[in-house]
Amino acid sequence: MSFKGKNALVTGGRQGIGRACAESLAAEGANVTVVDLLDCNETINAIATAGGMAEQMTCDVTDERAVVAVFEKYSFASNQLDFLVHCAGIIHECPLLETPVSDFDRVIAVNLRGTFLVGREALRCMSRAGSGRVILTSSDLAYYGRETFSAYVASKHGVLGLVRSWAIEFGPSINVNALCPGPTDTAMLDADNMTPEWREKELDIPLRRFGRPEEIARMATFLCGEGGAYITGQGLGVNGGSVMP
């Protein structure tokens, strides 16, 4: 596939799945804007070294004014947004009875409010153009839950609600889907330092390993291409079979 002349915006692009998505889209020829709370110099340099085109913006996705400002600047520069891949997010593990409401609020703010704000502004841009692809990031945990992860699971289940609602509201011209990764070998998972109990979870996955960021990115890239033209409103598991809904 070729995305030459297409414009993509990727959040959470400093590392992990977000960085892999930015690099994958750029490798297919898209002009990529990488957004993160911190600088994305390594991502930008990697894309440039591979011959791709990318720029970066910093933004706190929980800040409405900051998110609106990013899209106002983006629209002024490119006039069209073809792809949004929203990967910005945090993880949280804590037994419910020990979880302060401030922790719950923070997880919801980043993972759900941030998704709402970024998705809303992306869809505003795409609606003007009459086309686009929106790919959000949920989780395999959104399908079955897990002890000590209730705040995180609630936030990711909420993302699926946004996907299903937006797919109906903005069809037929705009496709909206979510990636639902299983455990993926990123800094967020911190596989090198995980407990033996967590390491044993690899054995519960039919493919007997954690995913790699580039494997998740391939699905995002597929959804942006012609292969994803008839897919919308879905949470797509890229999880080695850890969940089979």
Q: In this predicted model, what pLDDT tens digit does every residue of 146-160 receive, in sequence order?
A: 899 999 999 999 999
The verdict on residue 244 lying in a domain is no
The verdict on residue 1 lying in a domain is no
The verdict on residue 243 lying in a domain is no
The verdict on residue 245 lying in a domain is no
pLDDT for 242 equals 86
pLDDT for 185 equals 83
Q: How many domains does the chain have?
A: 1
pLDDT for 218 equals 98
Give bridge partners of residue 56 from the DSSP assignment.
Answer: 34
The verdict on residue 71 lying in a domain is yes
The verdict on residue 89 lying in a domain is yes
Active-site positions read 152
pLDDT for 195 equals 63
The verdict on residue 204 lying in a domain is yes
State pTM to two decimals: 0.94
How far apart CA 143 and CA 157 sit, in angstroms, is 7
Would the pLDDT of 194 be above 80? no
Tens of pLDDT, residue by residue over 45-87, are 999 999 999 999 999 999 999 999 999 998 766 679 999 999 9
CATH number of the domain where residue 191 is located: 3.40.50.720
Compute the Cα dihedral for 200, 203, 204, 205 and give only its sign: positive
Residues spanned by the domain of 142: 7-238
pLDDT for 120 equals 98
The verdict on residue 216 lying in a domain is yes
